[in-house]
Structure 1
Amino acid sequence: MLLVEKIQETNFSPAEQSLIDYILEKNTAIEEHTIKDIAEATFVHPSTLIRIAKKLGFSGWSDLKLAFLEEQRYLHSHFEEIDANLPFAKTDGLVTVAQKMAALEQTTIEDTLSLLHHDTLKKATDLLYQAKEIKIFTSNANIFTAQDFALKMRRLKKRTTIAEIIGEQAYEAHNTDETTCALLISYTGENQLIKQVLPILKEQGAHILSITSIGESTISKESDCNLQMTTRERLYSKIGDFTTSMSISYLLDVLYTTVFSRNYQQNLNHLIHMGEEFDNRTSTSPVMQEHPIENRLQITDSFLPN
């Protein structure tokens, strides 16, 4: 749930509501205003700001103000020229549709990248890298996106599975322990199937990494580490789950590559060796043709730091 949504659903006294209306009207302009400035402008006591913050689950006004500004900046960045729900019109021609979809995907990547922070990404990478087993809990179309990630991770000798069968998730959760990293993927952060396994995972001692939308949710709050995906789509009044799927795919690719980079040359040599052993494909295209092994080793070595 976005902070703005939480504000709209919370009951406030008349004095508190006048303050809330002022904040929503001024939006990011409140960054330059002190508690005293806002209190005087709305004719309330400064303690009202602190009371509102605590009612919304924050320790004080500064924390609420920071969270509000961060959310508003995100919601008003990117996607100014394209609608995530209706990215093209019925009158658009084929090439125009293709161009708009390209713009949508490019914007989605930029938007998702803006939500990534170094320390959070490092913690997520640590959880995956240190785990003996990675178990993914998600549903619907997200399963297909997760399958590609699981395949890549298994090629790095990381045991990675997906709890796909409805009704089996609880059993899968019980078969975890402190050496397991449970990866939970949910756009709303309130997926009922995943919420049911959360207490089991915590009881078993599994480490929990989640990917959810921005804002407060049950899954993000209960996770050891949470990555945020692009949050632009409505639940169902849209052409497709374009930005959600693209954002999740991008984040999973990032996680795969950050784990890969921990043992870069070792992992690269392993993939090349396995390809030579089992990939019998051929091509007349010079782009696709593999170099002889001696040249390939020289190429990979040239990318190593001095």
Structure 2
Amino acid sequence: MTIEERIAQAENLTPTELQLAHAVLDLGARLGSYTLEELARATSTSKASIQRLCKKLGLSGFKALKLEMGKIQATRPDPIATVDVNFPFAPGDAQRTIVANMSTLYETTVADTVKLLEPSELERAARLVSQAKSVEIYTGSHNVYPAQMFEERLLSAGKRAVCPLSGERMSRLALASDKTHAAIIISYSGLQASYRRIISVLREQGTPIILVGSQRARRALPSLDAYLMVSDRESLQHRITQFASHIAVQFVLDSLFCCVFARDYRKNMAFLQRSLPYTALRTR
């Protein structure tokens, strides 16, 4: 198991330890030149915090961590340049610099999410969605837009889907759900109390639940049926806006839709083609 896989699968990391783990990944091969004290200063943590992280990742200590980083760097292709996902541009940056930084932000966010997106979880989620009579998508804020796009894409393949926007509508849909439905919760942090209430109702109804969110959301909302993880480098508050989390959620939902469509490609393509005469743009 690589160090990246250890970090992705660790379920008991604190927010500080998670940030530290990502700082280690960002350092890459450069970690080999750091002492324990230097890494603690560079990451504004402590030697004890670094050692605790190593133990939680199943490593004997800091030397073992550097050894693991050396292994992945030896087989990794040319690295993508790093950018601060919370503040990807600075005052006075030229348009060319901003565009280049945003391109890097997209690349690093998608690459990060690919590492966290477990194939077995994606397959399980695709199966639950494919088998469901109806799919309900529960989310809010900026995640409404990729959620509504996912809803439309499911409908384009003949799959009934609903993305409620009000809390009242969410509650009623959850109460009307059952084991023949599938629910998707999209939450970067998993901290919203409203989602815990919805999940409680869905569990009572026997509805399978899929979470799209960060590792911290997975820890906050345990024992669901499938987890589709996104890059979690973005701060919950200290940021310009939700650049990285928005991109990551969109990527995961697009990947899920493609997996659902591919499970019954001919049937879904037939529905899509049958609907074209009704959805084509009218020129007259």
TM range (shorter): 0.7 to 0.9
Matches of 1:23 and 1:142, distance apart in 2: 33
1:12 aligns with: none
2:239 aligns with: 238
1:87 aligns with: 88
Tell me, yes or no, if the aligned pair for 2:177 and 2:202 is still in contact at 8 Å: yes
Matches of 1:194 and 1:134, distance apart in 2: 16
1:3 aligns with: 13
SS in 2 for 1:184: strand
TM superposition shift of 1:183: 0.4
TM superposition shift of 1:240: 1.2
TM superposition shift of 1:7: 7.4
> Is residue 191 of structure 1 aligned with residue 200 of structure 2?
no
Matches of 1:136 and 1:86, distance apart in 2: 30
Q: Which structure exhibits the higher relative contact order, with contacts defined as CA atoms closer than 8 Å and separated by 6 or more residues?
A: 2
The worse-fitting range, judged by mean Cα deviation, of 100-109 and 271-280 is: 271-280
Q: Tell me the amino acid that sits aligned with residue 242 of structure 2.
A: D
SS in 2 for 1:109: helix
RMSD: 3.2
Matches of 1:281 and 1:111, distance apart in 2: 42
1:250 aligns with: 251
SS in 2 for 1:189: coil
Evaluate the alpha carbon distance shift between residue 192 and residue 80 of structure 1 in structure 2; reply closer, same or farther with a 3 A threshold.
farther
> Is residue 218 of structure 1 aligned with residue 220 of structure 2?
yes
Matches of 1:191 and 1:32, distance apart in 2: 34
Higher Cα Rg, which structure:
1
TM superposition shift of 1:151: 0.5
TM superposition shift of 1:278: 3.4
Tell me, yes or no, if the aligned pair for 2:177 and 2:205 is still in contact at 8 Å: yes
Evaluate the alpha carbon distance shift between residue 79 and residue 142 of structure 1 in structure 2; reply closer, same or farther with a 3 A threshold.
farther
TM alignment of 1:267-278, pairs within 5 A: 267-278=268-279
1:300 aligns with: none
Matches of 1:23 and 1:236, distance apart in 2: 23
Matches of 2:48 and 2:141, distance apart in 1: 41
Matches of 1:263 and 1:131, distance apart in 2: 13
Long gaps (5+) in structure 2: 1-10, 19-45
Tell me, yes or no, if the aligned pair for 2:82 and 2:108 is still in contact at 8 Å: no
Give the number of equivalent residue pairs. 234
Matches of 1:110 and 1:102, distance apart in 2: 12
Tell me, yes or no, if the aligned pair for 1:211 and 1:228 is still in contact at 8 Å: yes
Tell me, yes or no, if the aligned pair for 2:17 and 2:53 is still in contact at 8 Å: no
**Paired-residue identity, %:** 27
Evaluate the alpha carbon distance shift between residue 184 and residue 26 of structure 1 in structure 2; reply closer, same or farther with a 3 A threshold.
closer
SS in 2 for 1:85: coil
Evaluate the alpha carbon distance shift between residue 280 and residue 22 of structure 1 in structure 2; reply closer, same or farther with a 3 A threshold.
closer
Q: Tell me the amino acid that sits aligned with residue 24 of structure 1.
A: I
1:137 aligns with: 138
TM superposition shift of 1:238: 0.9
1:180 aligns with: 181
SS in 1 for 2:101: helix
2:50 aligns with: 24
Tell me, yes or no, if the aligned pair for 1:84 and 1:232 is still in contact at 8 Å: yes
2:266 aligns with: 265
TM alignment of 1:33-112, pairs within 5 A: 33=60, 81-112=82-113
SS in 2 for 1:222: coil
TM superposition shift of 1:217: 2.5
Q: Deviations over 1:37-83 (max 9, x none)?
A: x7xxxxxxxxxxxxxxxxxxxxxxxxxx9xxx99xx9xxx9886200
Tell me, yes or no, if the aligned pair for 2:158 and 2:272 is still in contact at 8 Å: no
2:28 aligns with: none
Tell me, yes or no, if the aligned pair for 2:129 and 2:135 is still in contact at 8 Å: yes
1:302 aligns with: none
